[in-house]
Structure 1
Amino acid sequence: MIQVWRVGVGEFAEALLARVREARAGLAAAVDAEDAYAASVAQSDLDDVVWLARRHGIDIEADGE
């Protein structure tokens, strides 16, 4: 049997905002470490999660963190 998880819009938005914060932190850490490969991977992750947030109308700039 397939189990279906129900997630509210607020929970979805908060999860995406958390992913944005994590991706930004990962990118900053990679840049600080001067690790070009890790920075590229982190930037790609950030681009993906920002695209997803925008696709669902979630304002990542209003996050405040």
Structure 2
Amino acid sequence: MGGFTEAARKRVHDARAAVAAAREAGDAYEAAVAQDELDDALRVARRHGVDVGDDTAAEADEG
């Protein structure tokens, strides 16, 4: 696995965790910021063909 691929996967993983933590804490602002980071991380990864798995629960905008 190349360095870019590993970094992209880690960025998505960390962003998914941040979204989940912010939602669990009930922090709407942090959840929105984390969701933006996740959206960007997924966009970059997909644009470069990096398989980051399918975790739609973390990606769903539940507010």
**Correspondence for 1:33:** 25
Which 5+ residue runs of structure 2 have no aligned equivalent?
55-63
Q: TM-score, normalised by structure 1?
A: 0.79
* Matched residue, 1:44: 36
Aligned to 2:8: 16
The one-letter amino acid paired with 1:20 is V
Whole-angstrom distance in 2 between the partners of 1:10 and 1:60: 14
The residue type equivalent to 1:41 in the other structure is: V
Percent of counterpart pairs with the same letter?
Answer: 54
With CA pairs under 8 Å and 6+ residues apart, which has the higher RCO, 1 or 2?
A: 2
Instruction: Answer with 1 or 2: which has the greater Rg.
Output: 1
Query: TM-score under structure 2 normalisation?
Result: 0.81
Aligned-residue RMSD, C-alpha: 1.4
Aligned length: 54
Question: 5+ residue gaps in structure 1?
Answer: 1-8
C-alpha deviation, 1:24, in angstroms? 0.5
Deviation at 1:32, TM superposition (A): 0.3
Q: Secondary structure at the match of 2:49?
A: coil
